[in-house]
Amino acid sequence: MSDGYVLITGGCGFIGTNLADRLLRDGHRVCVFDNLSRAGVERNLEWLRAQHGERLLARVADTRDANAVREAVRGATRVFHLAAQVAVTTSLDDPVSDFENNARASLNVLEAIRNSNHRPPLLFTSTNKVYGGLSDVTLDEEALRYTPRNVRVAKHGVGETRPLDFHSPYGCSKGTADQYVRDYTRSYGLQTIVFRMSCIYGPHQFGTEDQGWVAHFLIRAINREPIAIYGDGKQVRDILFVDDLVDAMLLASADMNRCAGEAFNIGGGATNTISLRELLAMIRELEGREPRVTWSDWRTGDQKYYVSDARRFSARTGWSPRVGTREGVRRLREWLLTAGIPAMVQHAEEPASIAAKRVAGGGRVGERPVAAAAQAKE
C-alpha cells in the first residue's frame, strides 16, 4: 500500500462503495478501510473486487485501532472518513460504544493525518443531527407533512448559521467529531472539510431500520412485511441520491484550498423533500398495493422537519442535485430487485424452524441479518 491511494474509512458501506467505484472508474487507486461489521457489506466488497481487481486495496480493520489507522494513512493521498456508528437508537442503548466509534475514532484519523509526513486532505461526513430537534421551528400540520411557518426555512431549509444543539448521544458524538475536524484546520493547519448530511439513498444500501430508511421501506414493502412508523409519519426530510453526493464529495475534495476548515449542509434541498407518508404513497404506486404499516411513539431526538439549505456549497462549487425524488426512489427499487436484496433480507430474518427446513431443502444458509449495527457509514 506504499504507492499512494485514496483512503476511504467505512469504504465497504453504502456511500463508501459508491465513492470507491467512482474513483476507481476515474483511474485512481483506492484503499477501503472497513471492519466489515455491518451485515451485507461483504457483498459490496466482493462487488468492488469483481469490478476493479487489483486497483482496489482492502484493509479489514477498525478506526478505533489507532495503529491500523496510522498505517493506512501513511500511504493515502486523500482521506474520506465515512466510518461511524450511525443509529440514534443504538447510541441511546450504548452511548460509550457510540462515542468510541464516532468521536474517538475520528480523533484517531485526525491524529494519524497530523503526525504523517504528507498530511493528506480529509473530508468528514457529519450529520444534520448536530442541529438537535429544531423544536423552535414552528410548524403547520398538513394532511401528509409538516410545513415551517418561517418563509425562509420553508423555501430554502436549514443553513449552516443554525446553532449546534446536540440531542441524543449520536448527535453528541458526531457533533464532537465535526468540531474536532474543523478545529484541526485552525489549530494544526490540516486541510479538512465537513459535510453535515441529510438522508442519502441509492444502490448498495441494504436498508436497516435506523438508517437507510428509504431502502428499508422499499424492502419491507416488496416483501409484504409491515413498515414501522415512529410518530405520525408527517416528518419531512430532504433526500439526496448517492450519485449526487459523490459529485459533491469530489468537487469539495478538488477545491480543498478554498473550502478547508468549513462545514457545509448537504442534502437534496427544498426541491427534494418527502414525508414518510408521502414515501408510503409513492411505494403504493410502485408496488400496486397498499404497504402494511405499524405505528409507534416518537423517538428521542427525531426531527419533525429537516431540510438542508445547501446553497452555500452550491455557490462555492456550482453543485446541485440532478436526480429527483421520484426518479431516485424508482432507481433504488430497481437496484434492490436486480441485486436480490429483499429475498436476502427475508431469508436472513426467517425463524430458526423455517431456516432449518431451508437447509434440509438445499437453500442458502449463513446469511447474517441485515438489521445488524455496524461501523460502515450510512
The 10s digit of each residue's pLDDT in 158-214 is: 999 999 999 889 999 999 999 999 999 999 999 999 999 999 999 999 876 566 899
Whether residue 61 lies inside any domain: the answer is: yes
Cell output for 205: 444500501
> What is the arithmetic mean of pLDDT over 86-115?
93
Q: Who has greater pLDDT, 288 or 212?
A: 288
Asked whether residue 67 is domain-assigned, the answer is yes
pLDDT bucket at 40, cuts 50 / 70 / 90:
confident
Q: Is 170 a catalytic site residue? A: yes
d(CA 7, CA 252): 16
**55 lies in a domain?**
yes
Residue among 230, 212, 213 nearest 300 (CA): 230
Per-residue pLDDT, averaged over 353-371, amounts to 33
From 5, 131, 146, 170, the catalytic residue: 170
User: What is the rounded distance in angstroms from the CA atom of residue 293 to the CA atom of residue 240?
Assistant: 24
In a domain, 53, yes or no: yes
Is residue 374 included in any domain, yes or no?
A: no
How is residue 170 written as a grid cell?
A: 449520536
Name residue 107's beta-bridge partners. none
378 domain-assigned:
no
Q: pLDDT at position 370, please?
A: 31
3-state DSSP assignment of residue 320: coil
Q: Which amino acid is at 370?
A: V
Alpha helices (H) in the chain, listed in sequence order:
14-25, 41-52, 66-74, 88-93, 95-99, 105-114, 151-156, 169-188, 213-222, 242-254, 256-259, 276-287, 311-317, 325-339, 341-348, 352-360
Length of the chain: 378
pLDDT on residue 280: 97
**Is 173 inside a domain boundary?**
yes
Domain of 235 in residue numbering reads as: 5-347
Among the listed residues 92, 84, 85, the one whose alpha carbon sits nearest the alpha carbon of residue 168? 92
The number of distinct structural domains making up the chain is: 1
The model carries a pTM of 0.89
| Assigned C-alpha cell, 151 | 418563509
In a domain, 334, yes or no: yes
pLDDT for 362 beyond 50: no
**What CATH number is attached to the domain comprising 64?**
3.40.50.720
Please check the confidence at residue 283 and state whether its pLDDT lies above 70: yes
More confident position, 377 or 310: 310
